[in-house]
Structure 1
């Protein structure tokens, strides 16, 4: 049996080993459990106490010695349901205090530089905008490189759906030579105005700015640099506006 499946139910490695050992042993004292599960002597009672608290192990005391038994396997399903309920409750609590947490983060971030790596890292960084931009706000992106992994193209499309639903606008300048279908796709989303760069400069880096945030993104080996500084964001914005004024709407 794959112990990983038991661990995914919310048990630690030691808890999973002890629970499985008890299932095979039936009622047992600590010694045989240690021998079968291969957990350290010093950890066995702590692990058993944790499993008892989770309702997955019970015990009786016979002649001053504790004898332990594993709960029936369907108890694991019940435990998962209890965890789901608990996590849902915690999720609602976090949602309630989320505005305060965001405010704390914005107070402390003042001027900062962060590096996010990998596909998930780029997503995490990009979605910071949804904590800052409100309906009617706008972000600007330029030097957009079309040769991206397909998962990025799919992600941007999902992101545009989210952006449009929230009423956030976007102006995007793609490198010249980008497939027209990509621009048509982006412009099909409400509030998005995609155009070609007014210059034939092509780089593997993409730039973006909104509020006090500036981004430098490279997607072939995904990473993104986030700079939080109003002065730098204003500088990025000045370059973007100069480029934008030299463009024509895409048709």
Structure 2
């Protein structure tokens, strides 16, 4: 057996070499162990004591000289089983902590007035949060400023197609104010029975999403940026702005 094999199951390089040396030597004093393992004398004793604490070696004293012996290799299996049990116990502890930790996160979020996210990963986070809220509260999503998918690029366009399909599957209600140049370009939204769409004579890469007490401004350039504002007053202001634009927009 190579030392690397034992290292893969959690032993250090020194531990694996000394344990294998003891298996070959049988009962031995430290001198032959040092010679066989290639581990320095200064480290060998410390490693032997460490292995002893793990139950992988034992010692006896003969004529005032300490002799060491390797425990059965079955002890390695037992050690792995103990680690598995410990990992399982820690996993259960972590799972029990999750509700409390989530409460802390939510509490911290409530105190935050503004957040900024960037890039596609940030985009995923922002819209996952939005979708989760809409699903939980059965709320209506208001969106100002959707334009032609050509302006956004394929990656962002494909993301929104997947997102809107998901929202349709969840039967989430949405209201959109599109630019005229987007007319007929977003069939996933325009044909959905869960969406209402009107059109404005204005096109921009900047859009506004409103849901609950949250509003966020999206700049959907190659590297998208999202400004999240969590405020009932601001969300209501944006919603009022949406309703005024809605009155003047075309079906």
Give the direction of change, closer, same or farther, for the CA distance of 1:85–1:148 in structure 2 (3 Å limit).
Answer: farther
TM-score by length of 1: 0.61
Deviation at 1:61, TM superposition (A): 3.1
Are residue 153 (structure 1) and residue 157 (structure 2) matched? Answer: yes
Moved more, 217-226 or 59-68: 59-68
How many residues are aligned here? 213
Query: Cα–Cα, structure 1 residues 169 and 97, in superposed 2: closer, same or farther, change >3 Å?
Result: farther
* Contact 2:114–2:228, Cα closer than 8 Å, also in 1: yes
Aligned match of 1:188: 191
Q: Does 1:240 align with 2:245?
A: no
For residue 100 of structure 1, report the CA deviation from its aligned partner.
4.3
State the Cα deviation string for residues 59-95 of structure 1 (Å, max 9, x = none): 22355669798958xx79xx899969975x5786467
Asked if residue 226 in structure 1 is aligned to residue 228 in structure 2, the reply is yes
**Tell me, what secondary structure is at the counterpart of 1:214?**
strand
TM-score by length of 2: 0.61
C-alpha separation in 1, matches of 2:55 and 2:120: 45
Q: What is the Cα-based RMSD across aligned positions, in Å?
A: 4.6
SS at match of 1:241: helix
Q: What SS does the corresponding residue of 2:185 show, helix, strand or coil?
A: helix
- Aligned residue for 1:27? 19
Unaligned 5+ residue runs, structure 2? 1-6, 22-32, 60-65
Runs of 4+ in 1 over 4 A off after TM superposition: 15-26, 28-35, 62-72, 79-87, 89-103
The 5-angstrom pairing of residues 131-142 of structure 1 reads: 131-133=132-134, 134=136, 136-142=138-144
How many Å apart are 1:33 and its aligned residue? 9.0
- The 8 Å contact of residues 130 and 211 in structure 2, kept in 1 or not, is answered as yes
Task: Give 1:59's match in structure 2, choosing from 50, 56, 63.
Answer: 56
Counterpart mapping for 1:30-109 below 5 A: 59-62=56-59, 63=66, 93=96, 100=103, 104-105=107-108, 107-109=110-112
C-alpha distance in structure 1 between counterparts of 2:67 and 2:225, whole Å: 61
- Identify the residue that residue 213 of structure 1 maps to in structure 2: 214
Provide, for residues 11-37 of structure 1, a one-character-per-residue CA deviation record: whole Å limited to 9, x for no partner: xxxx869758579858358986989xx
- Offset of residue 247 of structure 1: 2.0
1:54 aligned residue: none
